[in-house]
Amino acid sequence: MNRHILRWLIAGTLIAASPYATAQDQAAIEAGEKVYEEHCQSCHGEKLRSAGAMPDLREIRQDERPKFDTMVMNGRSQMPAWQGIITPQELDQLWAYVRSRAR
């Protein structure tokens, strides 16, 4: 095969592969933001900025996904349970959104 064509093929594959994952992540983050605005913002604050009374979800760490899932699905005291309302896919999207704003 001609070297020139080969180089274009490799470049094309790299360009096609890398933004794809990012675009997918970005889509999940945006979808998560919608779910958050609909179900969580009223308590946890606009753009995850808690006014103080509620836990600030930006404080959740990367390794706390299991705790996050349990909390969202089962609730606790004032925190409602979302089992049957939020789908597993929406839970992933919420997590992507929360992680994108972690500090």
Q: Among residues 7 and 67, whose Cβ is nearest to ligand HEC?
A: 67
For 45: left if phi > 0, alpha if psi spans -120 to 50, otherwise beta; the answer is left
d(CA 7, CA 3): 6
Name the minimum Å distance from CB 37 to ligand HEC: 10
Q: Among residues 28 and 94, whose Cβ is nearest to ligand HEC?
A: 94
Name the minimum Å distance from CB 62 to ligand HEC: 13
Q: Among residues 7 and 34, whose Cβ is nearest to ligand HEC?
A: 34
| The two structure tokens encoding residue 96 | 């992507």
d(CA 35, CA 91): 9
Q: Which of 42, 30, 35 is nearest to 91 (CA)?
A: 35
Name the minimum Å distance from CB 59 to ligand HEC: 6
* Chain contacts with ligand HEC (rule: CB under 6 A): 39-40, 42-44, 54-55, 57, 60, 68, 71-72, 76-80, 82, 86, 94
